[in-house]
Structure formats: structure tokens, C-alpha cells
Amino acid sequence: MGDPAATNATSPPPIPFDIPFLPISDRAAYLARIHYGVMAPLLALTLVAFSSRLYVRTWPVWRVGWDDALVALGFLFSLADFTLLCFEMFPTPRIITFGTATRAIMLAYLAIPVWVISMTCIKISVTLTLLNRFHPVSYTTRWWCPMLVALVVLQLVYFAANMVYSFTKCRPLVAAWDLSTPSATCYTSRTDLIFSLTGSVINITTDVALSVSPLVAVLRRLRRPLPERILVCCLTGVGLLASSASVAKAVVVSQWNPELPPEELDSWAMAVSIGTWTVAEQFIAVFGACSPALKGPIERALGRCVRPWLRPQHPPHRMGAVRTRRLFCNERDCERSLEVKWYDEPCHRRACKEA
């Protein structure tokens, strides 16, 4: 066995946590301000969509399922990820200490598995929603169910691979964020880049598939007025914005080259940009998963100018059946009983009373 004194002599001395260590550039501070300025309204919109989904699922009939539980879990993990990444955001240029930098890097590294859990829950929730709400499509489209099952399997495989890679990247694990750890072994930067870009491709593929498949398989068979179909397409296609955030994040990650000198590579500003796109991807994904619940409120908010295009307010010509006439009877027709001449008076009174 070796001499402990000789071992301690050859190991580098620990870095004090209170010494100035890393300067935060003007660009990194500017990107941090953009992060807070963009995430605040995006979080508010996501809360509105999530609350609308909870309201629709719980009132007036309790219809909460596994898809609702998973999207709620994904939203909670996205909030946790947003909180962890806030520790690397410094809105003003400064020089941070070694302890502050180590804590920010540690929390940003732990945000990676939190992000994977969040996106996995959200995507499985969307898949269950498509299977449950649009199950008649499975009888007419053969590729519908196998494709959704394949997407779930692909996402679970990526989830497991990311978890294994994140917790086996360095030995000991603390070396992933503590630069003062002696005799640590980690994967190379090229391996990190390859794994990150491979995960980005899988993530973008699943995002696009879950966003486009409802448009192709369901909405082309939807017999609704054109403006209503356009509204449903817009709400369903929100997931494509999450794909755009994934693409932007992959572009920033591909520019990462730790071999460049610090004068040419602002690593902290790049980390801030990656964190911004990561949180935006999660919030947009939650918004997209909950956006179908906004269809009713948006229709009501559009008012009278768009309402006649979304559904017919008057019965077609030559409708003589009493039962059919009652479908078009509402309070507005009752108020205009002197002007509306389509109904005979006994039928009109009876239908308005039942409406």
C-alpha cells in the first residue's frame, strides 16, 4: 500500500468555495433576462390551459383518467426543472464564486433527469388521450394504434437510457459538477455531444409524430364547419412549437466545443440558452397537451362575429320534424319568437320550455 502522506502530497489542494471563480458576461446576463421575460408569460398561459383541462375533466362530471394524472405529474416536474435552472440565471454581469458556480452546475445537471421525467409523462399522457378520445380511428386506420404504442416504447427506452447515462457519466458522480474532485473519470465531451444529439433526434421525432398524427388520422374525418376545424387544428398543432424549441436547443448544443479557448466560447451563456429552450419546450408541451380543453372557451370568447360560422343557429329549410326543430331552439329563439316564423307556436313553446 502507498503512503497516505505521499498521496495527499500529489493530490491537488481543494479550491476554496468563497474565492471569485467565474465571470458572468454581458451576453449571459442578457440571455438570463430574456429567460425570465419569456418564461413568465409562457408559464401563465400554461397555467390557464392546465386549469381549463382540470375544470373540463372534473366539472360537471368527474372524468379524470391516467392521461390527466400524467400531464399533471409532467407539469409538476417541469416546474421543478424551471426552479433548478433558475440558479444559473444571473441577470447582471458579475463574478461568481466557486461555490456559487458549483451549486448552479450541480442543479443544472440534476435538471436533466427531471426534464426527461417531465417529457416522458407529458408524451405518454398525450398518447393515452389520443387512444382514449379518438379510439374509433383505430377501426379505420390500421397504423394508428401500432404507431402510438411504438412512440411510447421509444420514449420509455430513451428515458431509461438517459437515466443510466446521467448517473454513470462520471465516477464518482460528484465529478460531473465539482471540478475539484480528484482522480475522477468521465465520458469525453464528444460522447456527451453524440448522446445529446441522438436524444434530440428522438425527442423531435416523437414531438412531430404526436402533433401531426391527430391532424392526419382524425381531423380529416371530422365533419364540422371549416372554421371549427381550423381552430381544432391550431390547438392540436401546438405541439409543433415544442418541436421547434427542441430543434433550437439541438442547434445550440451542436455548437458546444469545450476545446475552444474561453475567449471564443462563452460556455455560461450557452448553458443559459440551453436552459431557456429546455423550459420552453416543457411548458409548450404541457400547453399542447391541455389545449383541446380551450376549444370551448375560445369559441365563446370569439363572440357573435365568429359564432355563426362555427355552428348553425337556424334550422335548414323545410325541416318539419318537431324533434329536429328542438335541436335549434335556444333562448335567443325564444326572445325572438315574434320574428321567427319557422316554428308553429305550440311546437315552439314546447321546445323552448324543454331547452
Give pLDDT tens digits for 73-91: 999 999 999 999 999 999 9
Which residues face 96 on adjacent strands?
A: 22
pLDDT given at position 81: 96
Side chain identity, residue 131: L
Asked if residue 172 has a cis previous peptide bond (ω within 30° of 0), the answer is: yes
Locate 53 and state its grid cell. Answer: 383541462
* Confidence (pLDDT) at 59: 84
Strand partners, 20: 97
Kindly state the DSSP code that residue 220 receives in the 8-state scheme.
G
Q: Note the pLDDT of residue 202.
A: 92
Q: What is the pLDDT of residue 341?
A: 34
90 close to 74: Cβ distance less than 8 angstroms: no
Q: Which three cell numbers stand for residue 29?
A: 446576463
Confidence of residue 344 (pLDDT cuts 50, 70, 90): very low
Per-residue buried b or exposed e for 197-217, using 16+ beta carbons within 10 Å of the residue's own CB = eebbebbbebbbbbbebbeeb
Q: pLDDT band at 313, cuts 50/70/90?
A: very low
What is the predicted pLDDT for the residue at 265?
A: 79
Residues of the chain with CATH 1.20.1070: 16-293
Residue 300 confidence class, pLDDT cut points 50, 70, 90 = low
pLDDT of res. 223:
64
**Alpha carbons 268 and 87: distance in angstroms, whole number:** 12
Compare 32 and 144 and report the one with higher pLDDT. Answer: 32
User: Whole-model pTM?
Assistant: 0.76
- Rounded to an integer, the average pLDDT of 216-237 is 65
What integer pLDDT is reported at residue 104 of this predicted model?
Answer: 94
CA distance 239 to 44: 17
Cβ pair 31, 273 in contact under 8 A: yes
Q: In 10 A of CB 223, how many CB atoms?
A: 5
Given CA atoms 5, 9, 10, 11 in this order, what sign does their dihedral have?
positive
What value does the mean pLDDT take over residues 212-227? 65
Phi and psi of 47, rounded to 5°?
Answer: -65, -40
User: What is the distance between the alpha carbons of residues 140 and 216, in angstroms, rounded to a whole number?
Assistant: 13
CA distance 150 to 154: 6
Write the burial class of residue 343 (CB in 10 Å: 0-12 exposed, 13-18 middle, 19+ buried): buried
- Confidence tier at 222 by pLDDT (50, 70, 90): low
Q: What is the mean pLDDT of residues 271-288?
A: 94
Average pLDDT value over all residues in the chain = 77
Q: Is the dihedral of CA 233, 238, 239, 240 positive or negative?
A: positive
Question: 99-119: buried (b, 16+ CB within 10 Å) or exposed (e) per residue?
Answer: ebbbbbbbbbbbbbbbbbbbb
In CATH, 16-293 is 2.40.30: no
